């Protein structure tokens, strides 16, 4: 499945570094999502963008900063992370029918495995 791509696939960074994760969807969708998957914890929704507008911020620390320049691209900017931020970061996209509409099927990218030293 190449509908949603993520780069890099693996990233190791120090706590003082600044890095960015990139997600690109080729499905013509209008909504994009960031999830965090930590060991032994359920998937945690971080951010939701619909029509390039952030519509959900699920109490995520400010050291994570999302950016959605257009409906096909989503970034997650990282700075001064902590070791507990080490996780698999998953991007997803869907065709959202509207503010009060049913959320449609989400398609996921392969994820970026982040390790914070």
Task: Enumerate binding residues for other proteins (CB under 8 A).
Answer: 1, 4, 6, 33, 41-43, 45, 48, 55-56, 90, 92, 96-97, 99-111
**CB-based burial label for 102 (10 Å; 0-12, 13-18, 19+):** exposed
Q: Give least dist CB 51 to other proteins, A.
A: 13
Backbone phi, psi, residue 83, to 5°: -55, -30
Give the DSSP per-residue string, 80-102: S--GGG-EEEEEEEE----TTSP
Give me the least distance between CB of 98 and other proteins, in Å please: 9
Question: Whose Cβ is closer to other proteins: residue 92's or residue 116's?
Answer: 92
The minimum distance between CB 58 and other proteins, in angstroms, equals 9
Sheet of strand 18-25: strand arrangement: 4-7, 18-25, 73-79, 64-70
Give me the least distance between CB of 81 and other proteins, in Å please.
Answer: 21
Select 79 or 104, whichever has its Cβ closest to other proteins: 104
Between 16 and 105, CB nearer to other proteins = 105
Task: State which H helix or E strand residue 44 sits in.
Answer: strand 44-50
Give whichever of 43 and 117 is closer to other proteins, judged by the CB atom: 43
């Amino acid at each position: 499945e190449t509908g949603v791509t993520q780069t890099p696939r693996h990233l190791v960074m120090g706590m003082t570094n600044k890095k960015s994760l990139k997600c690109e969807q080729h499905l013509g969708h209008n909504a994009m999502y960031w999830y965090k998957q930590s060991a032994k914890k359920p998937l945690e929704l971080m951010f939701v963008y619909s029509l390039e507008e952030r519509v959900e911020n699920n109490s995520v620390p400010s050291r994570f900063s999302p950016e959605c320049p257009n409906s096909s691209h989503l970034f997650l900017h990282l700075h001064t992370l902590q070791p507990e931020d080490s996780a698999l970061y998953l991007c997803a996209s869907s065709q959202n029918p509207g503010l009060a509409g049913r959320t449609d099927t989400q398609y996921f990218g392969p994820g970026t495995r982040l390790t914070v030293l």
